[in-house]
Amino acid sequence: MPIPKEERYTFADILNWDIDARIELIDGMPYMMAPPTTEHQRILMELSYQLRAFLEGKKCQVFPAPFGVRLFSKKEDRPEDETGLLEPDITVVCDPGKLDKHGCKGAPDFIVEIISPSSQRRDRLEKYNLYQMAGVREYWIVDPERKLVQAVALEDGRYPLPQVYTATDKAPVSVLEGCVIDLGPVLTGGIENA
């Protein structure tokens, strides 16, 4: 079934579309997502592995994409009321009350986006601002080309200047006490471009 042509959509519309493409919804506007690269998926798996190992036996849970996040939704909101749906590359949720059968309803505690040339503007500007406004406590942007991670943790409702980490660093996840990510295997274990 083709996507109907309307001005704005809701989460209910997305649930009814018969398409295989991944779609994000920002203020009612759909954005199709390009398929991830091999390097993107390798980074996603390494980060997910390290986070999962740390969270074993703890209340927080890690979810790699595809996993839907409806940042501004309240418990009582119905899919027809929701005009936003994002699929961060990695989502950590510490409040099980925010989880439902479609993903996370409300702001997760920690989000990671692995940028690509096609997603850079949305991840660095639009999503950055949405995550900040929603109260996502920590946000990391992984840049595979530059081999670095930019990390921000919410302070007084705002993200300060980012901490920048490279492949030689072990980066703390400030919202997960005691969690440190070894960025060596995250940023250097991939496929080299010929």
Give pLDDT tens digits for 18-48: 777 788 888 888 888 888 899 999 999 999 9
* Fold held by 11-188: tt1808, chain A (3.90.1570)
d(CA 176, CA 182): 15
Q: What is the pLDDT of residues 88-144, one digit of tens each?
A: 999 999 999 999 999 999 999 999 999 987 777 788 889 999 999 999 999 999 999
pLDDT band at 82 (very low <50, low <70, confident <90, very high): confident
The whole-number pLDDT of residue 190 equals: 52
By the 8 A CB rule, do 164 and 170 touch? no
Domain ranges of the chain: 11-188
Residue 1 has pLDDT above 50, yes or no: no
Give the residue, 73 or 120, on which the prediction is more confident. Answer: 73
d(CA 50, CA 186): 9
Nearest-CA neighbor of 140 among 49, 57, 43, 53?
A: 43
pTM: 0.89
Give the rounded distance of the alpha carbon of 14 from its chain centre.
19
